[in-house]
Structure 1
Amino acid sequence: MFTRARGIARSLLLYHCRPATQRRAARLYGEFLRPGDIGFDVGAHVGGRVRIWRRLGVRVVAVEPQPDCQRVLRWAFRGDPGVTIVPAALGARPGRATMALSTATPTVSTMSAEWIRSVTTDRSFQQVRWDRAVEVKVTTLDDLIAAHGVPAFCKIDVEGFEAEVLAGLSRPVSALSFEYLPSAHDAALTALDIVDRLGASADGYRYNYSPVETMRFASARWLDAADLTGLLDRFRPIGRSGDVYARLPRTPR
């Protein structure tokens, strides 16, 4: 039986023990974040991005609903006043919700039953089991901003719940990212539509895409929403997951 400790250990190896990836991530996030900025890490998991951002001098608000991951974050960043851990999920409105947990692969724990149905058609997910559930507190991006300030960058990695997280935001932020999975293509397009509507009041977002953990942009130029959709359509048949990045025209600084 795969224990919870082994699942967390697997995540720690994946996100903390790849120095080349961490160096590339620091260069990429350095386009959006400067010392003293606030960064929201929504779906902080075991703190891989938190550690990179702290090295950039960023004040990090780490949002994580999984109890096991919360314990890792509290231990890893104990005594660091630049890290605030929020033990909650984000959604369209405050409340409570059920989260499906995967003991062996906690990085794919999710609050979206539809996302689970979508990704189980993907061969890379066929061995994944969501074998536990936990009730979690839910807050919103608007409430997070009210409590901690406006972020220079907001990373959203919540396994298919991205649109619900973005629905809890009523104003554009300078830059953000959200996960893209080819097997959950429609969910990503819903999230993209929300972001694009948010940006309409601030000269519009421009977009790029970084496949898997390359920490490199797939396009040499920043795209509008239609061009980004075309780019994702090209990656979709080959199963290249990754992250969509959005920035307002005035960023990076």
Structure 2
Amino acid sequence: MDIRTLAGLVRSLVIYRGQPWKQRRLAAFYGELLTPGDLCFDVGAHVGSRSRAMVKAGARVVALEPQPAFLDFLRRFVRSPDIEIVGAAAGSESGRLTLHISRRHPTVTTMSRDWIDTVGKTKAFSSVDWDEAVEVPVTTLDALIEAHGLPRFCKIDVEGLEPDILAGLSQPIPIVAFEYIPEALDGARACIDRLEALGRYRFNWVVGERHKFAEPHWLSAADMQVALTRASANGSGDIYARLEAADDRLSSKSAPGRAPTMLTTP
């Protein structure tokens, strides 16, 4: 492993695993969404912080990671009978694609050249250099469902390829989370539209790593589209989409006297 790749790996470990109290808060947050035995997909597992939090919430996880250095780390150091690691990316169809790696800033590694062209012109990404390219295997959410079953929850964090991944899904998943960033909101908007085409979803969002929902009530797709500009004013985060059929399970985990959609674990 070259020095830049090692530095990038260490940087990610400090950010995502160097603050264990944040991991505990994330697990508690997932505990509001999941019940023991639920299956989850972690698409873009990186150093495994989200997968580990899902397992702490009682879930079983299929974790996808195509970045070679991070895949090697997961296979060496994230050993759990409840986490199955898959060395692949996800996309609209199975095959092989080029992964553009930023060795110093591996959190923004992506398979989307269009995303790089968009965000690379902005101030926030001015210091990022995508300085390595490797070909990686690609699967689809449909193929993962066929192999492992329908998950309760699918988290997607792949720097701009989220719409393509959802294009490889032909049935609704009860809860889906995907990243949004202010510099490239069109991708998040496309994800909202795609999920709305798959089923009747309601939406909310989490700002950064706060691990609590920003809104007390879940929004329609149209209202989420309007709210997205307001959400992005506070930086990047994750949009959560849930099928209305999933409401009963979420409501049963809400505290007495609290509105069912108030999932505000600190």
Q: Which amino acid aligns with 1:123?
A: K
Query: After the TM superposition, which residues 60-139 of structure 1 pair with which residues of structure 2 at under 5 Å, given as runs?
Result: 60-78=61-79, 80-139=80-139
Cross-structure match for 1:172: 172
Deviations 1:146-197 (A, max 9, x none): 1111111000000000000000100001101000011101111111111110
The 10-residue stretch of structure 1 (1-10 or 169-178) with the greater mean CA deviation from structure 2: 1-10
Do the aligned partners of 2:28 and 2:57 also contact (CA within 8 Å) in 1? no
Q: Aligned pair 1:13/2:8, yes or no?
A: no
Distance in 2 (alpha carbons) for counterparts of 1:64 and 1:212:
21
Is the alpha carbon distance of 1:176 and 1:22 closer, same or farther for their aligned partners in structure 2, counting shifts above 3 Å? same
Aligned AA for 2:185?
Answer: H
1:118-197 to 2 correspondence within 5 Å?
118-197=118-197
Unaligned runs of 5+ in 1: none
CA-CA distance at 1:33 after TM superposition: 1.4
In structure 2, the residue corresponding to 1:169 is in which secondary structure? coil
Whole-angstrom CA distance in 2 between matches of 1:196 and 1:104: 36
Contact map agreement 1:12 1:46 (CA 8 A) in 2: yes
Partner SS, residue 244 of structure 2:
coil
| Equivalent residues of 2:100, 2:134 under 8 A apart | yes
* Contact 1:44 1:64 (C-alpha < 8 Å) held by counterparts: yes
Distance 1:122 1:23 in 2: 33
Q: Tell me how far 1:244 sits from its aligned partner.
A: 0.5
Aligned with 2:100: secondary structure? strand
How far apart are residue 25 of structure 1 and its match? 1.3
SS at match of 2:135: strand
SS at match of 1:250: helix
Shift in Å, 1:84: 0.6
CA contact (8 A) 1:2 1:104 kept: no
Take 1:235 and 1:83, find their aligned partners in 2: how far apart are those partners? 32
Cα displacement (A) at 1:247: 0.4
Give, as a single letter, the amino acid of the residue that structure 2 aligns with 1:15: Y
1:214-253 superposed matches below 5 A: 214-236=210-232, 238=233, 240-251=235-246, 253=249
Aligned partner letter, 1:112: S
Structure 2 residue aligned with 1:198: 198
1:23-34 equivalent positions in 2, closer than 5 A: 23-34=24-35
Deviation for aligned residue 1:85: 0.7
Q: In the alignment, is the contact (CA less than 8 A) between 1:96 and 1:138 conserved in 2?
A: yes
Find out whether 1:48 has 2:49 as its counterpart: yes
Deviation (angstroms), 1:227: 1.0
Q: Name the aligned partner's letter for residue 246 of structure 2.
A: T
Quote how far apart the aligned CAs of 1:239 are. Answer: 5.4
- State the secondary structure of the residue aligned to 1:150: coil
Unaligned runs of 5+ in 2: 250-266
Give the distance between the partners of 2:196 and 2:19, measured in 1 at CA.
33
How many Å separate the matches in 1 of 2:38 and 2:217?
25
Equivalent pair of 1:179/1:242 in contact (CA under 8 Å) = yes
Is the partner of 2:245 in helix, strand or coil? coil
Structure 2 Cα separation of the partners of residues 192 and 122 of structure 1: 24
Letter in 1 for 2:49: G
In the TM superposition, residue 17 of structure 1 has moved relative to its aligned partner by 1.7
Deviation >3 Å, runs of 4+: none
Return the TM-score normalized by structure 1: 0.94
Q: Is the contact between residue 32 and residue 251 of structure 1 (CA under 8 Å) also seen in structure 2?
A: no
* Alignment-mate amino acid for residue 57 of structure 2: L
